[in-house]
């Protein structure tokens, strides 16, 4: 009996020694109602906007509506197992995502959790809040370096700079996603020290489509510099709403560490729909087309986070390529006009051009890049000037020629050259082109070296010339990249195209 008492006493003393006065206070609320991916909770008076909360079954949510007597929560997962009266705990953490180089090559969800079955991600960059303030005016500098898309028509006529926001807009099935994927694939052609990390954000797309995108990037060896953030159509509207902000936060990590990143939002139309859905469910006042009144701010605060940082901030950049899907080419709809006014230009892809065989189906007339011209290499800027003039004259003369029969020789020659240049601007999907090849082909077209080639054989001539240039003038690429000026390679290209034309038939 004495032994048992001593054991009890000694055990009690040990517990007293290990006793701590530290008390961890946890705010616990109660679910008032739940359904359609949202919950109303009471008992969380100190919860903050965008704070993560945890339901009793482990599902996470984000505090979205802060009202006087309850909190509107958007649920990041299944809501079927959440019931009225369940406990909800405030975590004290703002909605955030893990960041770091370990995410490159992976497919993740809005919370940074892996979806590709390749194991956990131990991100070394810490965590970044999903909603962050955009860099200020004095923290930025002018755009001065290009993002090479690999498309001649884009890189020459509507150039995109690192740190720019360029909208890609068009009807369904006109090649918007294809253009972005080719841009990602083309980054393999970047020279050492000029790398670009790409983040592809899939918003509301079918899971099969996202899988095809990942498979395409893997097939062409582009996943080695790409992160995919996926919120499929089967995911809750809350996940689709948060996806672009999560992708942007991941890109900001690279930008703030002096690197260059490109983030593609595919697409912001579905993002606006998801935001409208959660806003209506939480009874926010609807406005035009039932969108809430702050739908402009929804996209402006996202796209303003793209920037070319100043040297004092490390000189990194984040380029944004938002995609907007239009209906029957209506770019004057509510969301498209909002995003057009926010971005630094737009690439308009047209259904009629697409179905006529023009790929990419880019309408040069209403596509524009407001700041990208400052980022073009000197070589591309030199040869892009004549190309713009020739194509503009061709469009004007082609419209005029429909009403006239007898054309003088000069007009006919310009029409013929315009047809050949238009043919040169066509490129097949998943075959983006390095800068040195673009310069060579555009030079040949604008200087009249294809004027003798039948339009039907332009693509044949182009393929033959590039092979000839590669075998007979192997030092040409290095010569161009040495100074990135056209004068450095003009003599080589002039000689090469003359030699090739002498043998081509």
Active site residues: 370
Residue 437 CA to residue 433 CA, distance in Å, equals: 6
> What would you measure as the largest C-alpha separation in the chain, in angstroms?
123
Alpha-helical runs (H) found in 307-377? 334-342, 351-355
Residue 375 CA to residue 243 CA, distance in Å, equals: 29
Contact 465, 444 (CB under 8 A): yes
Q: 3-class secondary structure for 206-262?
A: CHHHHHHHHHHHHHCCCHHHEEEEEECCCCCHHHHHHHHHHHHHHHHHHHHCCCEEE
Contact 134, 304 (CB under 8 A): yes
What's the number of CA atoms in the CB half-sphere (13 Å) around residue 37?
A: 19
User: Is residue 315 packed enough to be buried (19+ CB in 10 Å), middle (13-18) or exposed (0-12)?
Assistant: middle
Residue 175 CA to residue 429 CA, distance in Å, equals: 9
Contact 426, 154 (CB under 8 A): no
Residue 438's SS3 state is helix
């Amino acid at each position: 009996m004495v032994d048992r008492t001593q054991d009890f006493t000694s055990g009690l003393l040990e517990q007293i020694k290990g006793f701590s006065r530290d008390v961890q206070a946890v705010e616990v609320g109660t679910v008032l109602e739940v359904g359609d991916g949202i919950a109303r909770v009471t008992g969380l008076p100190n919860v903050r906007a965008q704070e993560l909360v945890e339901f009793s079954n482990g599902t996470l949510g984000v505090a979205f509506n802060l009202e006087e007597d309850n909190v509107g929560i958007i649920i990041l997962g299944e809501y079927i197992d959440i019931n009225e009266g369940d406990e909800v705990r405030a975590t004290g953490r703002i909605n955030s995502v893990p960041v770091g180089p370990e995410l490159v090559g992976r497919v993740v969800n809005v919370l940074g959790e892996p979806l590709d079955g390749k194991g956990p991600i131990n991100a070394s960059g810490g965590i970044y809040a999903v909603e962050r303030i955009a860099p200020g005016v004095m923290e930025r500098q002018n755009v001065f370096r290009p993002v090479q898309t690999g498309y001649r028509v884009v890189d020459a006529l509507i150039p995109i700079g690192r740190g720019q926001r360029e909208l890609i807009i068009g009807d369904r099935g006109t090649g918007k996603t294809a253009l972005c994927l080719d841009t990602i694939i083309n980054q393999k052609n970047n020279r050492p020290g000029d790398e670009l990390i790409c983040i592809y954000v899939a918003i509301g797309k079918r899971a099969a489509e996202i899988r095809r995108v990942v498979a395409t990037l893997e097939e062409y060896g582009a996943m080695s510099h790409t992160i995919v953030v996926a919120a499929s159509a089967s995911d809750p509207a809350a996940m689709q709403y948060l996806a672009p902000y999560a992708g942007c936060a991941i890109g900001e990590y690279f930008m703030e560490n002096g690197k260059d990143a490109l983030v593609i939002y595919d697409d912001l139309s579905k993002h606006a729909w998801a935001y409208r859905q959660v806003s209506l469910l939480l009874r926010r006042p609807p406005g035009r087309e039932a969108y809430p009144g702050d739908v402009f701010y929804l996209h402006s605060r996202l796209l303003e986070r793209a920037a070319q940082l100043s040297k004092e901030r490390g000189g990194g950049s984040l380029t944004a390529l938002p995609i907007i899907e239009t209906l029957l080419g209506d770019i004057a709809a509510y969301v498209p006009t909002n995003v057009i006014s926010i971005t630094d230009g737009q690439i308009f892809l047209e259904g009629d051009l697409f179905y006529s065989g023009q790929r990419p189906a880019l309408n040069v007339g209403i596509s524009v890049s407001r700041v990208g011209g400052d980022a073009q290499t000197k070589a591309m800027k030199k040869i892009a000037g004549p190309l713009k003039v020739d194509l503009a004259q061709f469009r004007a003369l082609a419209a005029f020629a429909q009403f006239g029969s007898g054309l003088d020789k000069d007009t006919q020659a310009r029409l013929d050259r315009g047809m050949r240049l238009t043919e040169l601007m066509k490129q097949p999907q998943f075959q983006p082109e390095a800068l040195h090849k673009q310069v060579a082909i555009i030079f040949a077209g604008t200087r009249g070296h294809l004027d003798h080639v039948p339009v039907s054989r332009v693509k044949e001539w182009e393929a033959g010339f590039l092979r000839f240039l590669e075998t007979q003038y192997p030092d040409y690429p290095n010569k161009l990249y040495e100074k990135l000026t056209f004068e450095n390679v003009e003599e080589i290209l002039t000689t090469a195209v003359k030699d090739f034309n002498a043998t081509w038939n």
